[in-house]
Chain A
Amino acid sequence: MTADAQVDVIVVGSGPSAVNAAYPLVEAGFTVRMLDVGNRDTTYEKLIPDAGFSELRRTDAQQYRYLLGDEFEGIGFGHTGAGAQLTPPRQYVCKDTERLQPIASQSFFPLQSLAEGGLGGAWGAGSPPFSKADLAGFPISLEDLQPHYEVVADRIGVSGARDDLMPFLGAQFAMQPAVEIDSNAEAILRRYATHRGSLNRTGLFLGHPRIAMLSRPHRGREANRYRDMDFWSDAGKSVYRPRWTLDELRAFPNFSIVSRRLVRTFEERADGDVVVHAANVDGGGTEQHRARTLVLAAGTLGTTRIVLRSLGLFDRRVPIVCNPHSYAALLDLNTLGQPVRDERHSMAQFCLVHAPEGHLRPFTVGHFYSYRSLLLFRLMKDNPLPFRESLTIMRHLAPSFGVLILQHQDHPTADKHCSLVASDVGEDRLAVSYDLSVREQAQIDAIEADIARGLRRLRCLKLKTMRPGHAASVHYAGTLPMSAKDEELTTDKHGRLHRTRAIYVADGSVFPSLPSKGLTFTMMANADRIGCHVRSTLRA
């Protein structure tokens, strides 16, 4: 067992929440040590040429290695579940999690990460801020978050437009102009523009998404090059990855990162220090790290494990929430047989909001993706036609094909909980039980039926709805919710774990519920807010 020199703050994790919690502390001159497992892609990144998708498909003889994977891990046959869109070059984000972060569940199979940058190494970069309505039930307000949204929007680079979605998505001053959209989305938005009034009256609104992807060069990163390579490669760094912030942090002498460490427990000592116990995942030994304050940002499920284990609360149930998720396969009749532009990015092309009761009441948000760079064989796999004809049909329809990803709001109920189960051999398992009530499912079905009707008016035909399972949105939250009450296993409004002195939680664990939006941008803003709060307590 080794002990390292004391630092001001230890941050656990290197994902979106960790790097954004660390930033204000490092900037202020405090010594910050990041402890992380830090898996990386050592195989594929270097193989992918700096070229557009169409070009490399024509020219690169090695493409099969990264498109299919050296172990053919890009060809899967199972159920379309969490992480369905992870291409071989992105799959490193989940490496080792089955072994080191086992889950026991009948219904909830989450994606977890032990990678440098966490799941942020593969995320879709959708970055809508929460609105006032979205924050109902949180002990913090939009005003609390607003300055941190600004700071983080500048740090990570968010693009978007001030369009019909303003009341639902808001905007930051730092927001860059929207990235260009593809021919498919353009045709749908044109049709929306001609039917705007009537569609808005039914509660349907369309516009540009907020994406952490650059339309202008920023902080040493390039604007998107519209090469449709965003699912495969980070060349140009247009899409935000926590690694970019980590690179900035590494330039500070008061910041250090210790990789290959799996944090197991923390304890608060009588002398006021926090001691963190971590295992070396390569060597197997354990070591102690000392700090004045600990910030946990190991992802909701990772942090929950560390907290329950540290407090010895095995088998104790905590709530969990996760946006129910569905994919609707759409055919855009507006573009059938039409020429389409080759230049495009691969992320969400437009955002759809279903808000029959207006922006002050809960509403549902969806993102539309066109389909190309994920390859045709994946579409054909699920198509019950003879393959030869399927290939002809798919080649002709795919330019007009799209996927609308809907994420529904989620609130804690008695049927959604998890607990840590001790294990004699191997790692403790996180047992998760998650079920939607009949009422919740009926609400989802009604919303989706309503959206399908609106889509038909936009000449988008819904071909099929896929429900990839409860954990598939990869938006996990609510296990250690912020609460005004001083209760065990909750956090205060600054993310401090109640009944501790200096243990803070900066990831999704602290969100009491989830609106119908990706949580990560808000989580990063909240992590920055928590980092700023820790900074002022350390100064005091």
Chain B
Amino acid sequence: MVATSRPRTIAAAAPHEDAALLRHEAVWFARYLVDAIPEAALVERYVQANARLFAGPPTAGDAAILAFLHAHPWTLALLDAGTAFAHGAPLLRQKLVVMMAILEATPDFVDQTSQVDGVGLPLLAWRLGRAGAVAALKLVTGTALAAVVTRGTR
């Protein structure tokens, strides 16, 4: 019930010089989301999806975030958190959705992306509490980092 509308823009293919960066992104994103290195076919799917969905030029803020990420891939978790509350849908978050969708539609990652039931209330509370606490920490640190990275672009 909650998905929506069409891709923003459609392009024929990703510009060649971007493809290498996109391949890096695919690997970083998969490692971040499901702790795994994606197969080459998934990486190529990610490149294709970017070409289809994100053909327009990024905003200055999006470009700054992505440039920072490309230079410092280890900040991905913080940049993701830092842009979670940003106005509009930040490009980094949209790209993460794309990688998430690709992983979710791949049998290899079904265990990491399927619903979990029957764990009982105590374990559920512990897992949710832990995820919530980590998320809160990341949100605080990430928001500060994203503010620094995008300074001067607004």
Give A contacts to B, CB under 8 Å: 54, 57-61, 63-64, 67-68, 71-81, 83-85, 87, 327, 329, 336-340, 369, 371-372, 374-382, 384-393, 395-399, 403, 405, 466
**Cβ of B148 under 8 Å from chain A:** no
Interchain CB contact (< 8 A) of B127 among A61, A388, A392, A466: A392
Contact A384 B2 (CB under 8 A): no
> Count of chain B residues with Cβ under 8 Å from any Cβ of A?
57
Q: Report how far A79 CA is from B89 CA in the complex, Å.
A: 10
CA distance A80 to B6 in the complex (A): 10
A77 and B106 in contact (CB under 8 A), knowing A387-B96, A395-B113, A399-B117? no
Question: Does B117 lie within 8 Å of A79, measured CB to CB?
Answer: no
Closest residue on chain A to residue B89 by CB atoms: A77
B97 touches A58 (CB 8 A): no
Q: Is the CB of A59 within 8 A of B107?
A: yes
Q: In the complex the two chains form, what is the Cα distance from A408 to B74 in whole Å?
A: 49
**In this complex, what residue of B is CB-closest to A394?**
B115
Among residues 108 to 135 in chain B, which have CB atoms less than 8 Å away from a CB atom of chain A? 110, 112-121, 123-124, 127-128, 131-132, 134-135
Q: At the interface with chain A, which of B16-24, B56-64, B76-84?
A: B76-84
B113: chain A residues within 8 A (beta carbon): 376, 391, 395
A95 to chain B, nearest CB (A): 12
Q: Which residue of B lies closest to A382 (CB)?
A: B2
**Do A396 and B52 touch (CB < 8 A)?**
no
Say which residue of B97, B118, B139 sits within 8 Å of A77 (CB atoms): B97
Q: Can you list 17 A-B pairs with a CB-CB distance of less than 8 A?
A: A58-B110, A63-B106, A64-B105, A67-B105, A77-B4, A85-B2, A337-B117, A337-B123, A339-B117, A385-B84, A386-B134, A388-B32, A390-B135, A391-B34, A392-B127, A392-B128, A399-B116
Q: If A76-B5, A340-B117, A379-B2 touch, does A387 touch B100 (CB 8 Å cutoff)?
A: yes
Interface of B is mostly: helix
Determine whether the beta carbon of B3 is less than 8 Å from that of A85. Answer: yes
Q: Is the CB of B120 within 8 A of A337?
A: yes
- The answer to whether B110 and A71 touch across the interface, beta carbons within 8 angstroms, is no
Decide: A372 near B115, CB < 8 A? Known: A61-B107, A76-B7, A389-B134.
yes
Verify if B13 is at the interface (C-beta below 8 Å from A): no
Could you mark each residue 66-90 of chain B with 1 if its beta carbon is under 8 Å from any beta carbon of chain A, else 0? 0000000000010011001100010
CB contacts (< 8 Å) of B34 on chain A: these are 391
| A388 and B131 alpha carbons, distance in the complex (Å) | 9
B149 within 8 A of A: no
| Partner among B53, B97, B142 whose Cβ is within 8 Å of the Cβ of A386 | B142
A71-B52, A387-B32 known; A392 and B1 CB under 8 Å? no
Beyond A81-B5, A385-B139, 8 extra complex contacts between A and B, CB < 8 Å: A57-B114, A76-B6, A85-B2, A340-B118, A385-B135, A386-B81, A386-B142, A388-B32
Q: Give me the interface of B with A, judged by CB distance under 8 Å.
A: 1-8, 10, 32-34, 45, 48-49, 52-53, 77, 80-81, 84-85, 89, 93-94, 96-98, 100-102, 104-107, 110, 112-121, 123-124, 127-128, 131-132, 134-135, 138-139, 142
Task: Tell me whether B101 and A377 are in contact (CB under 8 A).
Answer: yes
Cα–Cα, bound, A77→B6 (Å): 7
Contacts of B132 in A (CB 8 A): 389, 393
A79 and B123 alpha carbons, distance in the complex (Å): 35
Q: Closest residue of chain A to B10, judged by CB?
A: A71
A129 to B84, CA, bound (A): 44
A190 to B154, CA, bound (A): 53
Q: Are the CB atoms of A75 and B131 closer together than 8 Å?
A: no
User: Lowest 8 CB-CB distances: which A-B pairs, in order?
Assistant: A339-B118, A78-B5, A64-B105, A389-B135, A386-B81, A337-B124, A399-B117, A378-B3
Give every chain B residue within 8 A of A391 (Cβ-Cβ): 33-34, 100, 112-113
A382 to B52, CA, bound (A): 21
Assess whether A58 is in contact with B2, with CB atoms less than 8 Å apart. Answer: no
Known: A64-B45, A336-B124, A388-B77. A76 touches B3 (CB 8 A): yes
A83→B101 CA distance, assembly (Å)? 19
Residues of chain B lying within 8 A (CB to CB) of residue A372: 115
A327 to B127, alpha carbons, bound, how many Å? 28
Chain B CB within 10 Å, residue with most, of A59, A378, A388, A391: A388
Contact of A72 among B80, B98, B110, B119 (CB under 8 A): B98
In the complex, chain B residues whose CB is within 8 Å of the CB of A84? 1-5
B4 contacts A72, C-beta separation under 8 Å: no
Task: Give CA–CA (A63, B105) in the complex, Å.
Answer: 6
Residues in A neighbouring B8, C-beta threshold 8 A = 77-78
Residue contact B2 to A75, C-beta cutoff 8 Å: no
Which residues of the other chain, B, contact A61 by a CB distance below 8 angstroms? Answer: 106-107
Decide: B142 and A75 in contact? CB cutoff 8 A: no
A77-B94, A338-B118, A389-B134 known; A396 vs B128 contact (CB < 8 Å): yes
